[in-house]
Amino acid sequence: MAPDTKQPLVVEEISAQEAFEEIEGGVVLIDTREPHEAAEARIEGGKLIPPATLVATIEDAAPDKSARTVVYCRSGMRSATAAEQMMELGYTDVVSVEGGILDWQAIGLPVVTEAKLTDEQRNRYSRHTLLPEVGAAGQVKLLEAKVLLLGAGGLGAPTALYLAAAGIGTIGLVDDDVVDASNLQRQVIHNTERIGESKTSSARKTIEALNPDVEVLEYNYRLDSGNILETIADYDIIVDGADNFPTRYLLNDASVRLNKPVVSASILSFDGQISTFVPHEGPCYRCLYPSPPPPELAPSCSANGVLGVMAGVMGLLQANEVIKLVLGIGEPLVGRLLLYEALGTRFTELKVRRDPACPICGPDAVELPESELGAFPDYEAFCGGHVGS
Amino acid sequence: MPSVRVPPVLRQHTGGATEVAVEGDRVGVALEALVAEHPDTKAQIFSEEGDLNRFVNVYLNDEDVRVLDGLDTAVSENDTIMILPAMAGGSS
């Protein structure tokens, strides 16, 4: 006996323009793409049925098998397959849109988008939105993000520049210092005309000229246990470019208390370190450095020097971490300490573990009164410190 | 031979060397060998009681020795011991 030969089903295709006219008149419209694609742009009135669930759910979603049904996807391929599957299920009047939503948009037909970008923004951020990991939806997340930078100096300068370029919508800058010529070897957000001006004001001007989408908020005071909680409260992520240990410990204790991730880097000579601290998910700064070194073992850049590009390398690694955290993509440096050595151009990665005895984020940690945020449990080990100077 | 990577702040005490080969089958022994060769490094690494200072981290390859066996952590031929101080740059 001859085997059954199945005649291949011929799927009828219509153009985007024809689809538009039919939709105006009233049809059942099926969108067979994935949710993140629909969030980017979709045709109004469509029911979203991703390909994997189509056969199982289409009969509930579109019970009338004789109704005129139009199926679309991104370019017309998945919708053709979907239409064929529906015909096999007994749908008698189903068509696929040739060229999909790409053709639809190419001829200027309207789409609904959850990602609200202006035309200028679509152009400005096109190199971001082209990346599948970002898209217009990701760019909106960047525009809605609020990032606070401790320090608008060596690390803060390049970080602020690139976060502004990326469209981080609100950038806070904490710095009470003024621009000095010796800063310009690395703090490229400032320039010769700004010497003598407040660093936050100078940074704000550069950022405003670079990207008008960014709002810059300036905080011209030193952080202490009395003001840190309210300073960081409204921000999503903190970038630590502080120039002294007391501030780093203070920021750590406050950020763990308020559950704020901190991207923390430091530079000296030809060396840089960076890690990302996400409270309770990974270690905190104290898990890594339970005690600060005495001053003679922690020289400053003004005493020892620092290669200017170190600020750029580590500052941009900080910006990279911030962007990954905002977008929720990639693998941030949680539980990892990345070291960069510029003379050999070598990266080294060390593991950082949560300290079970950590006085701030450990299971037995006691909630400190505000006045003790940043205080060292072992104060005697730290002599000659300059808290809040 | 295992080696010790010397952080910038200690290089002045090792004649500028960034990496020093040392003998030692335990981290503590290797560090003592470093100190014997370059005595001025002692204060950063060891406390008066002979323990590791709380403010310096020591790594065997990529793992903090505090989560291994501390100064008793075994060291093999091709291992690298890294001394890692905290840094906070800035101006003094």
- Per-residue pLDDT of B6-26, as tens digits, reads 988 888 899 989 899 999 999
Helix axes A156-166, A199-210, angle to 10 degrees: 30
Q: How confident is the model at residue A182 (pLDDT cuts 50, 70, 90)?
A: very high
ipTM: 0.91
Q: What is the pLDDT of residue A6?
A: 64
Q: What is the pLDDT of residue A115?
A: 67
Pseudo-torsion of CA A27, A32, A38, A42, nearest 10°? -30
Q: What is the pLDDT of residue A386?
A: 35
Q: What is the pLDDT of residue A295?
A: 74
Q: Is the Cα dihedral A59, A65, A68, A73 positive or negative? A: positive
Q: How confident is the model at residue A302 (pLDDT cuts 50, 70, 90)?
A: confident
Cα separation, A281 vs B86, in Å, equals 22
Minimum Cα–Cα distance from B57: chain A residue? A289
Q: What is the pLDDT of residue B53?
A: 87
Q: What is the mean pLDDT of chain A?
A: 90
Residue A103 sits at φ, ψ, to 5 deg, of: -65, -45
| From A62-71, A97-106, A216-225, B6-15, the region with the lowest mean pLDDT | B6-15
- Mean pLDDT computed over A55-73: 95
Q: How confident is the model at residue A377 (pLDDT cuts 50, 70, 90)?
A: low
Q: In residues, how long is chain A?
A: 389
Higher pLDDT: A218 or B18? It is A218
Confirm or reject contact between B56 and chain A (CB < 8 A). yes
Beta bridge partners of A70: A29, A95
pLDDT greater than 60 at residue A4: no
Residue A218 sits at φ, ψ, to 5 deg, of: -105, 135
pLDDT greater than 90 at residue A9: no
Which residues in chain B are closer than 8 Å to A337, comparing Cβ atoms? 84
pLDDT greater than 50 at residue A388: no
For A257, residues 6+ apart whose C-beta sits below 8 A from its C-beta are: A229, A367, A368, A373
Q: Are residues B89 and A266, on separate chains, in Cβ contact within 8 Å?
A: yes
Q: Please count the other Cβ atoms lying within 10 Å of the Cβ belonging to residue A132.
A: 10
Q: How confident is the model at residue A385 (pLDDT cuts 50, 70, 90)?
A: very low
pLDDT greater than 80 at residue B89: no
pLDDT greater than 90 at residue A11: yes
Q: Are residues B64 and A353, on separate chains, in Cβ contact within 8 Å?
A: yes
Q: What is the pLDDT of residue A372?
A: 83
Give me the residue from B62, B85, B90 closest to A351, CB to CB.
B62
Confirm or reject contact between A352 and chain B (CB < 8 A). yes
Cα separation, A68 vs A95, in Å, equals 8
For A108, residues 6+ apart whose C-beta sits below 8 A from its C-beta are: none
Beta carbons of B18 and A269 less than 8 angstroms apart: no
Alpha-carbon gap: A153 to the closest alpha carbon of chain B (Å): 9
Q: How confident is the model at residue A365 (pLDDT cuts 50, 70, 90)?
A: confident
Cα separation, A356 vs A376, in Å, equals 17
Q: What is the pLDDT of residue A218?
A: 97
The order of strands in the sheet holding A215-219 is A215-219, A170-174, A146-150, A237-240, A262-268, A271-277, A336-341, A346-351
- Mean pLDDT computed over A254-278: 94
- CA nearest to B41, candidates B75, B6, B80: B6
pLDDT greater than 70 at residue A1: no
Segment 300-319 of chain A within 8 Å of chain B by CB:
300-304, 306
* Tokens 């679509």, located at residue: A122
For A313, residues 6+ apart whose C-beta sits below 8 A from its C-beta are: A272, A340, A342
Q: Are residues B91 and A243, on separate chains, in Cβ contact within 8 Å?
A: yes
For A265, residues 6+ apart whose C-beta sits below 8 A from its C-beta are: A155, A240, A241, A272, A273, A274, A275, A314, A315, A317, A318
Higher pLDDT: B56 or A94? It is A94
- CA nearest to A19, candidates A36, A37, A31, A34: A31
pLDDT greater than 50 at residue B92: no
- Mean pLDDT computed over A110-128: 87
Higher pLDDT: A55 or A300? It is A55
- Mean pLDDT computed over B16-45: 92
| From A322-326, A378-382, B39-43, the region with the lowest mean pLDDT | A378-382
Higher pLDDT: A207 or A371? It is A207
Q: Which of B46, B59, B79, B87 is the mutation pick for testing A, counting most A CBs within 10 A?
A: B87
Which residues in chain B are closer than 8 Å to A270, comparing Cβ atoms? 8
- Mean pLDDT computed over A370-388: 55
Q: How confident is the model at residue A119 (pLDDT cuts 50, 70, 90)?
A: confident
For A67, residues 6+ apart whose C-beta sits below 8 A from its C-beta are: A27, A28, A93
Percent of chain A with pLDDT over 70: 94
- Mean pLDDT computed over A106-113: 88
For A96, residues 6+ apart whose C-beta sits below 8 A from its C-beta are: A11, A12, A13, A14, A70, A71, A72, A76, A79, A80, A82, A83
Task: Please give the structure tokens belonging to residue A70.
Answer: 């139009």
Cα separation, A384 vs A381, in Å, equals 10
Q: How confident is the model at residue A389 (pLDDT cuts 50, 70, 90)?
A: very low
Give me the residue from A154, A292, A352 closest to B86, CB to CB.
A292
Cα separation, A51 vs A197, in Å, equals 59
Cα separation, A12 vs A18, in Å, equals 12
Q: What is the pLDDT of residue A263?
A: 98
Q: How confident is the model at residue A294 (pLDDT cuts 50, 70, 90)?
A: confident
Beta carbons of A43 and A94 less than 8 angstroms apart: no
Confirm or reject contact between B51 and chain A (CB < 8 A). no
- CA nearest to A85, candidates A9, A4, A5: A9
Q: One-letter amino acid identity for B13? A: H
Cα separation, A92 vs A211, in Å, equals 54
Percent of chain B with pLDDT over 90: 64
Which residues in chain A are closer than 8 Å to B63, comparing Cβ atoms? 350-351
Q: Are residues A243 and B89, on separate chains, in Cβ contact within 8 Å?
A: yes
- Mean pLDDT computed over A34-39: 86
Q: Are residues A299 and B9, on separate chains, in Cβ contact within 8 Å?
A: yes
Cα separation, B5 vs B54, in Å, equals 18
